Amino acid sequence: MSVSDEERDEYPDGSVKLRNPHIELMDQDILYHLALGSGSHDLVEMFGDVKFICMGGTPKRMETFANFIMEEIGHKLPTGTTLLDISQYSYRYCMYKVGPVLSISHGMGVPSVSILLHEIIKLMYHAKVKDPIFFRIGTCGGIGLEGGTVVISEEAVDAMMNNYYEVPMLGKIVKRPAKLDKKLVRELKLLADPEDPYITTSGKTMCTSDFYEGQGRLDGAFCEYTESDKMEYLNQIRCQGVVNIEMEAIPFAALTHHAGIKSAIVCVTLLDRLKGDQVMAPKEVLNEWQIRPQKLVARYIKRYLQMKGRISFEGHGSMAVKSPRRFKLVQQESETFE
């Protein structure tokens, strides 16, 4: 079951609504993996002005993006301060707030990004955020695309070419459509600069649950198919419109769509999978490539804020504690939760 247009129209103020009646009955909602809680922190004060949620795999990449977007939108920190990792006590994800932008690491693979999305969507709800826009900024393997190519996902499909997210739930499989926002995709494509020294393209993104066998690699600990089998498969999915492979697109597209949230995925290819399996580019080259999708998303954010007349901001993601006792409890829960 998906969010229909009629359901979206019920919330004209743009508030994020949870499709879970149990949350309202809880004394406090502890967001374990973020080291935050609805009773321990003043989430409206901390996050109420957020508009853009930008996610990527590693803490280092998202710290880099936080500093990059800070410079792009002209955000100023108070003298003598630095960006704060708001979720530092979770020891799982990092989270930086730069004015209306959240920069968050989501880890690797379907389970990790799914857990984060549940808690970030709940965070948006508790913070009373209006009309948030979610971006995944990542890396991928290209299918017929050279390393360093920026890819805007038009659609997300799984390893079986299904465009839905299968969730085992109470012994049954629930299928949630994986849909990205078409208008957002079009706007991102228009922001690609012809003078960029690299190609920006778009197409279907395949999401797999494994890096090695699930993506047809020959270099895993196990491999029970031939190179010919691999090439036949990769060329087959290429003919079906797949231009890149990664490991998070399906839950990202499905859960944001289920919540009625606009979302898009922008990745950079680290290699052409038709030419090999291992990432051979030097570290300094990879670091520059990973900035490329960040630049495109930053252009969107900067243009949006300029149009709204919101290009200078105060505050830098400080803690707003409502209850010291509950704050300590949330820290302890996040540190010990498995």
Closest C-alpha among 88, 126, 113, 237 to residue 178? 113
Burial class from Cβ neighbours inside 10 Å (0-12, 13-18, 19+) for residue 129 reads buried
Determine if residue 138 is labeled as part of a ligand binding site.
yes
Cβ atoms of residues 204 and 155 within 8 Å? yes
C-alpha count within 13 angstroms, C-beta hemisphere, residue 94? 17
CB atoms within 10 A of CB 226: 10
Closest C-alpha among 200, 207, 30 to residue 123? 30
Cβ atoms of residues 147 and 137 within 8 Å? no
CA distance 208 to 205: 10
Determine if residue 217 is labeled as part of a ligand binding site.
yes
Which DSSP helix (H) or strand (E) runs through 43?
helix 43-47
Determine if residue 92 is labeled as part of a ligand binding site.
yes
Burial class from Cβ neighbours inside 10 Å (0-12, 13-18, 19+) for residue 42 reads middle
Binding-site positions:
92, 136-139, 215, 217
Binding-site positions for substrate:
215, 217
Binding-site positions for phosphate:
92, 136-139
